[in-house]
Chains A and B, each alone.
Chain A
Amino acid sequence: MAETLAASSVARRTRHRTRWEMLVPRVRRHKGLVLGFGIVLFLVAVALLRNTVAPQNPIRIDITSALQGPGPAHLFGTDQYGRDVFSRVVHGASISLTVGAIAVGISATVGTTVGLIAGFYGGIVDALAMRIIDVLLAFPGILLALGIVSVLGPSLQNLMIAVGISGIPLYARLVRSTVLVARQQLYVEAARAFGVPVPVILARHLLPNVVAPIIVAATLGMGTSILAAAGLSFVGLGSQPPTPEWGRMLTEGRDYLRDAWWISTFPGVGIMITVLGVNLLGDGLRDVLDPRLRI
């Protein structure tokens, strides 16, 4: 009796370990992942508590204190309008994280849906979807987003849409290739034979196969999106003044580089740390969730 109980307890523990308990030690051992997670957590906390961390109004102009160097009154100095750079950098964190998250949300949602449908139906639907994806991929890097912004007009909202659309092909291809294999499996055939509606098959039976790669791609995509959005704002095609957006702040400080290096330097450090954090997190998640893709 005692043996049976012990055996069932071991079996239960073993069953339980198959999912999360096996992942947790791998996560803890991965220094990059832990560091990346720490950076992202810190940035999210800063973004949420921005009014407490940086109580000075980031868009209040005070010409009398313009171009002051970093010091106790203004930790990161002030810009040409006397605005507190520290406050602008802190508020910029929430903008960059929001832009990155919304852009990745658009890319992942649309891309996953297209990939699921193309991979599941195959044939003409797949061919058509993939040719459209091929055309989108013909616009290198930021250029698709640039083209979309030129059509929609420069604004922070349009920037998120543009960067989001330009990320769709990645997810569509990723999901399609997995679904092409998964749809041949017996459990999918069984679901079809039982008359389970297609949306349910896609959501309940096929989607779980692609969740891990999507999480990895979305985390790494967040870094790319933040860089793209900051770059487009830098060239004047994203957020507009006086929004404390990091890319925009770099442009505003460019003319004062010689005498007030801090205006452009700190927002740049902000972008780099954020992208570094999400990249470390993404690399770590890839190693833990899908070690085959490790580079």
Chain B
Amino acid sequence: MIRYISARLLATVPVVFGVTIAVFSMLYLIPGDPVKMMLSEFQTSPEQIARMRAQLHLNDPFLVQYGRFVWNGLHGNLGSSIRDNRPVTQEIFEVLPQTAQLAVAALALSSVVGVTLGIVAALRQNSWMDVGAMMVATFGISMPNFWLGLILILLFSLRLEWLPAAGGGDLAHLVMPTLALGLGAAAIVARLTRSNMLDVLRMEYVNTARAKGLGGGTVVMRHALLNALIPVITIFGLQFGALLAGTVFIETVFGRPGLGRLAVDAIQNKDFPLVQGCVLVFALGYVFVNLLVDLAYAVIDPRIRYG
């Protein structure tokens, strides 16, 4: 187990290194002068541009700049935003809990709804419930979450006036964003659960359990479901990533403060240090969650450790 954990941790190092290089290089990949691009909306003199270049240390060699970026990053310093001159980390950590809350709520919703739909569909294979559940899932996968968000606002805020249309903070503000973000993901979980469940239900140990005279519920819950869910857990990491990315749209639809909206605003304002900070936190968060999922997977399924 320790060997597996060390190997998995070690494999993360080059990815994190690559992510920092990629995020840092964004500034270099901008066509033309990045400082002129960032200040294009302001009236600036050549002196101000030169000062900005010096402030961002853009005159130093690439490796020196990269080294400084990583060193400062490790000390919680990702520079200052160009718009309001506040530390990037401060801006990010102000909104990060909101994004994490939304992503976790959507993950929970997608897991509960998806697994339930998947089990029902598998147990009643080819019945109208199965066909119906899979049709809903197919629509769910194809539906843009930002459009679903707008439809929910139209129905529950503007017509029925049950829920607030925009903003963040309390639980009422979390309901519609969670639904908009989580239902599409639930469709993917439902399809995967159904397919795994159908495979497992054909296994000999399930037949043995039935032959022993165990009740249908026990066979499904104790013998089939737990094994069917193992592959579903692997996609939790991927799902969490997709949900994190989805917050970019959902936070914009619902005018909700969060990392996604901060990133979109920063791109529109050409506030590059803030864009870099947001993208870095998103990517590192995703790498970390995938690491956790892989470790949890090894605990749940010992075959992974020894495989």
Give residues in A with beta carbon < 8 Å to B. 131-132, 134-136, 138-143, 146-147, 149-154, 223, 227, 230-231, 234-237, 247, 250, 254, 257-258, 261, 264-265, 268, 271-273, 275-276, 279-280, 283, 294-295
Contact = CB atoms under 8 A, between A and B. Distances in A.
Given A140-B242, A231-B146, A295-B195, A279 B138 contact: yes
Contact of B286 (A134, A140, A257, A268): A140
B29 interface: yes
A257 B268 CA distance: 24
Contacts of B252: 234-235
Contacts of A154: 267-268
A268 B144 contact: yes
Given A138-B286, A236-B268, A237-B268, 8 more contacts: A138-B15, A140-B286, A142-B248, A147-B279, A235-B252, A254-B150, A271-B147, A272-B139
B195 A138 contact: no
A9 B139 CA distance: 47
Given A139-B279, A140-B245, A237-B267, A152 B31 contact: yes
Contacts of B15: 131, 134-135, 138
Contacts of B275: 147, 150
Contact of A257 (B18, B142, B158, B287): B158
B147 A138 contact: no
A143 B246 contact: no
B263 interface: yes
Interface string B174-196: 00000000000000000110010
Given A258-B158, A272-B144, A235 B248 contact: yes
Given A138-B18, A264-B147, A272-B142, A150 B283 contact: no
A295 B192 contact: yes
Rank and list the top 3 A-B pairs by shortest CB-CB distance, nearest first. A140-B241, A141-B245, A135-B18
What DSSP secondary structure best describes chain B's contact surface? helix
A283 B142 CA distance: 12
Nearest to A132: B18
Contacts of B151: 265, 268
Interface residues of B, number: 51
B200 to A, nearest CB: 14
A236 B150 CA distance: 16
B147 A294 contact: no
B257 to A, nearest CB: 15
B150 A135 contact: no
B143 interface: yes
A143 B283 contact: yes
A147 B26 contact: yes
A140 B154 contact: no
B150 A264 contact: yes
Contact of A131 (B18, B29, B195, B238): B18
Contacts of B195: 294-295
B70 interface: no
A227 B150 CA distance: 15
B142 A276 contact: yes
Contacts of B158: 257-258
A162 B279 CA distance: 15
B244 interface: yes
A223 B142 contact: yes
Contacts of A142: 245-246, 248-249
B138 to A, nearest CB: 7
A278 to B, nearest CB: 9
B2 to A, nearest CB: 23
29 contacts: A132-B18, A135-B15, A135-B22, A140-B238, A140-B240, A143-B279, A146-B245, A146-B248, A146-B267, A150-B272, A151-B26, A154-B268, A230-B144, A231-B249, A234-B252, A235-B248, A236-B268, A250-B146, A254-B150, A254-B253, A257-B153, A257-B158, A258-B154, A261-B154, A264-B147, A272-B139, A272-B147, A275-B141, A294-B195
A138 B26 contact: no
Contacts of B69: none
A138 B287 contact: yes
B225 interface: no
Contacts of A275: 141-144
B199 to A, nearest CB: 10
Contacts of B30: 151
Given A152-B31, A272-B147, A279-B142, A143 B248 contact: yes
B144 A227 contact: yes
Contacts of B287: 138
B147 A146 contact: no
A104 B261 CA distance: 27
A168 B206 CA distance: 41
B21 to A, nearest CB: 8
Interface string B11-49: 000110011011100100111000000000000000000
